[in-house]
Amino acid sequence: MAGKPKLHYTKGRGKMESIRWLLATAGVEFEEQFIEKKEDLEKLRNDGLLLFQQVPMVEIDGMRMVQTRAILSYIAAKYNLYGKDLKERAWIDMYVEGTTDLMGMIMYLPFQPADTKEKHLALIIERATTRYFPVYEKALKDHGQDYLVGNKLSWADIHLLEAILMSEECKPDILSAFPLLQAFKGRISNIPTIKKFLQPGSQRKPPTDEKFVAVVRKIFNI
């Protein structure tokens, strides 16, 4: 299991996308083993490779890691993206949990029944602009620094940029009332490893479409 981390997941964003973001930002090359049909998932389960019978699963440093949060915090700590002390980690965790909540709502949108999609989209926009983005805008304003925690790039910044870009796919001008977040987006997007990940041809996955929803439903029986 030595060598590049190996990511086991479907050929889409889902819960693996934040892991791809973190590895790419750290400049770590990784391989992907895609689960393309139900039998692929069953094989991983039957071979005893999934601790809780679930993916994402990442093979890294001789471990088969599962549970998204555990994988992300391990990678963040390994590549010095997790603050310098316990207090900084606590802030990073809080900021990450906020963006995770928002991204979870966006992730679920393509799986919503057609008659509730519009209502769900409106709720995403409302929560983003009244509950989540004001917090990050205020944090940047209050400390006047380029990054959310400790004036150093951390997992919190990477996660926030991912959430911003996902939110803009829902509503392109969603940052119109948040000038500091607009500047933050420009700054973080231009970090060389992130800039590379945002280019066409990278391992970043496209937004979930109806075709992919159908594939996921078949694989996971949903």
pLDDT in tens, 69-107: 999 999 999 999 999 999 999 999 999 999 999 999 999
> Nearest to residue 9, comparing CAs of 46, 48, 50, 47?
50
**Pairing, β 6-9 against β 31-34:** parallel
User: Which sequence spans correspond to the domains of the chain?
Assistant: 6-79+198-212, 86-190
pLDDT in tens, 7-57: 999 999 999 999 999 999 999 999 999 999 999 999 999 999 999 999 999
CA nearest to 22, candidates 51, 64, 58 = 58
User: Given pLDDT bands bounded at 50, 70 and 90, which one contains residue 3?
Assistant: confident
CATH says 86-190 is which class? mainly alpha
Question: What class is the 6-79+198-212 domain?
Answer: alpha beta
Asked whether the whole model's pTM tops 0.75, one would answer yes
Element (H, E) at 130: none
